[in-house]
Structures are given as structure tokens and as C-alpha cells.
Structure 1
């Protein structure tokens, strides 16, 4: 039904984000569609500040189930940098679900045989650095 309504492209981009609006803290997952973000699922959090892994799974899981069979790219800002979230999302790769999670500059990544901070990468102003399939489990 959803497919017929939207006539989806070959891959869908989903965005997970959280916003604090006055006293309301909302965690949501949206579909990027024609330069807009269309909310698909959300949860009103009972606390201020960042969401936790259980809350993130509760918002993401039903959407992945709804869109099963579609190629999905889930994007998130650095609030969602959790290694545990990335391990959980990795379980969905067989279902064509991929993810891009922005990382904090203090995160340690493996480059060759050694780890270094993301902040140590040489990136010029206005430039973007995309690191694919990085091991990011070590922290300093």
C-alpha cells in the first residue's frame, strides 16, 4: 500500500532525529522525500536530552518492518553515534538496510593496524570525508 502511494525510488533514505520543542522531547524517524522529511514514526520521550538505545530501537524497528523489501539507507547525526546502535543495525544488512551515522570527533577509528581520533584526519574547510566500513570500537 505504501509503495503504491509513493512510487518509491530504488532506495529510500530514512532520517532519525530528536528535537526538544518547549517541554516536549520527540524522537522520530522520517522518510526523505522530495527535499522534505516526512515523519513515519515517533515517540514522545518522558525525559529531557538524548534518547537511549531502547527508545531508538522502538522507533526504528516498526519502520524497518513496514518497509521490508525496500533498500534503505538510515542516516543520523552524532547523537546516534552509539556503537551498540550500529551493531544492532548491522543485523538488518541482509535485508538491504544500510546506515550512515555521524561520529563525534573524539571517536577512535582503526586505520590500518592502529587507532586514531577522527579529529586527526586531514579534512579541509568545506570538505567532507566519507569513511566506509570503519571499525570504531576503541575509545580513549
Structure 2
């Protein structure tokens, strides 16, 4: 007699096959912490927050990105926005801080700000998923 699996057990089994490993998740979270520290240093008084699949706990492999947001102080945010200056100056400021903080640790680090509307695209040069191309950190 063939025993049928429940839907819940099939979903659990499928989830285990596609979820990131604990090692991948720890590496991604560690990199995200480093980026958050750089952002807060670039913008004293700002706060950072996490969103996306890593923050929600449902990241799949290969891990393709880690999301980080920055809430600026009124002083930093005031001169930017609709009808005012673009965010490019803010993006360049955080890029400089990230390079200062992380270039020695990640020798393949690249950071894109030109031609991007909001996110600063950070590539560490080495993927958190073994055998995969580097994933952007935004």
C-alpha cells in the first residue's frame, strides 16, 4: 500500500530543497550589518531597516540579494526629493562610506550609484552561495 503524503509535508519537503543554508544566511546577514553600519556612519542619526526575503525568513537559494533601507534625518533628507535635488549626492556619500569601511575586507567590492533611481547596488565580488555569481546587496 502506498502512503500519500500530506500537503503540509510536501510543502515542507519542497521548502527545505530551495531554502538557503544557515551558512549562506549568516554570511548575507553579516554583510547586511556591515552595510547598515556604513550607512549610519555616513548619515549620523539615521536609522536602518531590513526588508526582503532574508528579513522575512523565506530566502531561497541561490540568494540573489539582500535589502537594506535607510531612514534619513530631516536635516539630511530636506534638500532632496521631488522638485529638489536628486538622491545622487546621498548615494555617493554612502558609497564613499562603504568603500572606506569595507575595501580592505572585500578586495572585489564594487558599488554602483550612477543611472540608478534609488538603490545603491553593492557587489562584494564573492557570492554567499557556493558556485554562484555574486549577488547584489541593495
**Would you call these one fold, judging by a TM-score over 0.5?**
no
Which of the pair has the greater relative contact order for Cα pairs under 8 Å at 6+ separation?
2
Q: Which has the higher strand share?
A: 1
Calculate the TM-score normalised by the size of structure 1. Answer: 0.27
CA radius of gyration, larger in: 2
| TM-score, length of structure 2 as denominator length | 0.27
Please identify which structure carries the higher helix content: 2
